Copies of this chain bind each other. A is one copy, B any other.
Amino acid sequence: MRLVVARCEVLYTGRLTARLPQAVRLLMFKSDGSVLVHDDAGGYRPLNWMTPPTVVEEREGSIVVRKRAGKSEDKLEIRIADLLSDVTHDMGESAALQKDGVERHLQEELAARPNALGQSLQLVRREWPTDIGPVDLMCRDASGDWVAVEIKRIATIEAVEQLTRYLERIEIEGCRGVLAAQVIKPQARTLAEARGIHCVEVDLAVLRGEREPDLTLFT
């Protein structure tokens, strides 16, 4: 990885045009072709960037990064006024990030234990196909009625709309909808209940039995 600290101006043309006035920035050139222009503030997102595959052309006082983007071209032009530092580090092999707690894990746990949704449910299949996309979980309840379950980490109105579209498309008489999420936004809950969709907030740690449901509030 090459790290350059320089007073520079950056011009981007591509999906939009943008100009970054002259100031001191950090330029990162990764070995996979990624180029990032970072400021000393402003959070995790670079001010300008280009994702691989790129072509980097270095000239006197400027660096131009190009990328084919469909029929046209993306171009990042870095005009260097004052080079303050320029170092390259050999960082060797990488190792992948291991994540836990994303939506898929929630789906796996609920597929294994659909009763955690607070109803007596039996799983029929995960990723039940419809012509507009898969329903996360398709179950049947104690009465034999069908129940379509949509799972989100955070449920917004969009999740309710999505489940509603599925329910419209599912050719099953009286199929109910259940929305399960770690967090259900108030407006989503209101819309869901107005449409007869049951809402359930679930906790991944509780699902896994790592932590007991917090019942002390009610004792």
A144 to B81, CA, bound (A): 58
Q: What are 6 A-B pairs with beta-carbon distances under 8 A?
A: A16-B101, A17-B100, A30-B43, A39-B91, A40-B91, A161-B161
A residues within 8 Å of B by Cβ? 1, 3, 5, 15-26, 28, 30-32, 34, 36, 38-49, 51-52, 84-85, 87, 89, 91-102, 132, 158, 161, 187
User: Could you tell me if B39 and A43 are in contact, using CB atoms closer than 8 angstroms?
Assistant: no
Q: Contacts A16-B102, A49-B44, A97-B48 hold; do A91 and B25 have CB atoms under 8 A apart?
A: yes
Query: Quick one: which of B51, B84, B99 contacts A44, CB cutoff 8 A?
Result: B51
Chain B residues, CB < 8 A from A92: 23-24
A22 to B91, CA, bound (A): 12
Chain B residues, CB < 8 A from A99: 16-18
Query: Quick one: which of B23, B34, B48, B98 contacts A42, CB cutoff 8 A?
Result: B34
User: Could you tell me if B98 and A24 are in contact, using CB atoms closer than 8 angstroms?
Assistant: no
Chain B residues, CB < 8 A from A30: 38-43
